[in-house]
Chains A and B, each alone.
Chain A
Amino acid sequence: MCLAIPMKLIERDELSGTAELQGVRRRVSLMLLPEARVGDQILIHAGFAIATVDPEEAAETVRLFDALREAEAAEADDRTSGETDASPAPPTSREERA
């Protein structure tokens, strides 16, 4: 029930506005987010905007995920090239369900 969806604020008057997501528009109340500006990504819950989505933080999260993927890919290469090592291989099938 605490579902909230990011939409773009495309127009506003006093304390209400129109938000859009993939061509779908709806009226939203800005009573809980009076500082929202046209063009902002806003998070909508039950017809109310409750937060602006910070584009820098959102981009930073994507960067962190990318970094993690790349680090993991590099480690996977190490694991493959190190298979002839005498060091014990990490447990796999017994330990985990694939």
Chain B
Amino acid sequence: MRRAGARETTTAAAMLQRLRTLARDLPRRVTFMEVCGTHTHAIGAAGLRQLLPERMRLVSGPGCPVCVTPVGYLDHAEALARQRGVELCSFGDLYRVPSSRGSLERLAAEGFPVRIVYSPHDALALAEQHADSDLVFLSIGFETTTPTVAATLETARERGVRNLRILPGNKRIAPALSALARDPDVRIDGLLLPGHVSVITGAAVYRFLAREHRLASVVAGFRPLEILAALIELTRMLLAERPALANLYPSVVRDEGNAVAQQLSERWFTAADADWRGLGPIPDSGLRLRERAADWDASRVAVELPEAREPSGCRCGEVLRGAIDPPDCPLFAQRCTPERPVGACMVSSEGSCAAWFRHERASRPVARAAAARAKGDPA
């Protein structure tokens, strides 16, 4: 990771000062949500949350694909591996996430093949190298990742590869934000929108947030300066009482997004209702493979699934809605740690609980969190 230079540090200090000056004029305490897990990680690593004005609370949202993947998806993957003798290919983040009965890690320990890949393309390469294998790629991720899966399937078809299928678990962020905006338990004044999802979708898809929900929203980059600039912009919008959409990541995010990637995703996937951990079922928030891609679809294989069971006592769901901070969960840093995670949010480095554990634990004792909640915080 690049270290911040002196110039960047002075700029950050100036931005913080600006943010504090602006925050003094806020009529009440406001809550912003960083939607994206990569933001959560960046904010934690830079220690930004502790530096914010008292009147500003920054909560994490549902933008960690591993965290929002429901336990039933992992159960499904396990059942495929056990009953059909397939080899699973997965992004590393999913490896230790608890399922109803175990995890991919435990499955591998039992001798079932689970391969970790960096790119969907690696799964294709494995399928080509091992023509007698039956590979299932665990396809999770948001709009950033979906086109890479579509492109991989496209290549597999062109090359006549027949031993690769996917288990679709891909999700769409805009319908989830729409559901959050309608949730009466979730009071958010502004959103830090996910930069790299927006590279693909374009910024324009978020216009509804201001128009329909009067939510201020800013597409933001991932450096601390970019995140601070986004918070300043959100605060300005609130002070002016003019919630709008701003794109502060224009070097890579355009209004219309990446059309090639969108078309490729469209060719293979179509919108479907999907279940989110924490948020529940949300219409059109997921993707399934189209009918004509049935041969590539591992979800069509009938398997017996156990009753989906979330880990007992885990409050991941509330964390993902921004309803509580990780230290508000009684398991946090007690029974649930990155070494022995109970919930998904503690597994992925982008999960809120893991980010808090690594970067912010010392700054916010559990008791203080509890006291803040008892006062009915936030306003």
Binding site for B on A (CB under 8 A): 1-4, 29, 31-34, 43, 45-48, 50-55, 57-58, 60-61, 64-66, 68-69, 71-73, 75-76, 90-91, 95-97
**A2-B145, A46-B119 known; A68+B194 contact, CB < 8 A:** no
Indicate whether B199 reaches chain A with its CB closer than 8 angstroms. yes
Interface locus among B203-211, B256-264, B294-302, B311-319: B256-264
Structural contact, B141 and A72, CB atoms closer than 8 A: no
Contact of B14 among A4, A46, A69 (CB under 8 A): A69
Residue numbers in B under 8 Å from A2 (CB-CB):
36-38, 63, 65, 141-142, 144-145, 194-197
Q: How far is the CB of A1 from chain B (nearest CB, A)?
A: 5
Structural contact, B229 and A48, CB atoms closer than 8 A: no
**A3-B196, A46-B120, A61-B250 known; A96+B11 contact, CB < 8 A:** no
Residue numbers in B under 8 Å from A47 (CB-CB):
118-122, 148
Q: List 16 A–B pairs whose Cβ atoms lie within 8 Å, in order of A's numbering.
A: A1-B65, A1-B91, A1-B348, A2-B36, A2-B141, A2-B145, A2-B194, A3-B38, A32-B258, A32-B261, A45-B145, A50-B200, A61-B226, A66-B11, A91-B24, A97-B50
Structural contact, A72 and B121, CB atoms closer than 8 A: no
Structural contact, A69 and B141, CB atoms closer than 8 A: no
**A1-B350, A69-B11 known; A51+B50 contact, CB < 8 A:** no
Residue numbers in B under 8 Å from A71 (CB-CB):
14
Structural contact, B261 and A68, CB atoms closer than 8 A: no
Q: Is the contact region of chain B dominated by helix, strand, or loop, or is it mixed?
A: helix
Complex-state Cα separation, A51 to B197, whole angstroms: 11
**A2-B145, A54-B250 known; A72+B348 contact, CB < 8 A:** no
Binding site for A on B (CB under 8 A): 10-11, 14-15, 17-18, 20-21, 23-24, 36-38, 50-51, 53-55, 63-66, 91, 93, 118-122, 140-142, 144-145, 147-148, 151, 154-155, 194-197, 199-200, 221, 225-226, 229, 248, 250-253, 258, 260-261, 264, 348, 350
Which of A46, A47, A53, A76 has the most chain B CB atoms inside 10 A of its CB? A46
Structural contact, B54 and A50, CB atoms closer than 8 A: no
Residue numbers in A under 8 Å from B350 (CB-CB):
1
Residue numbers in B under 8 Å from A96 (CB-CB):
20, 23, 53-54
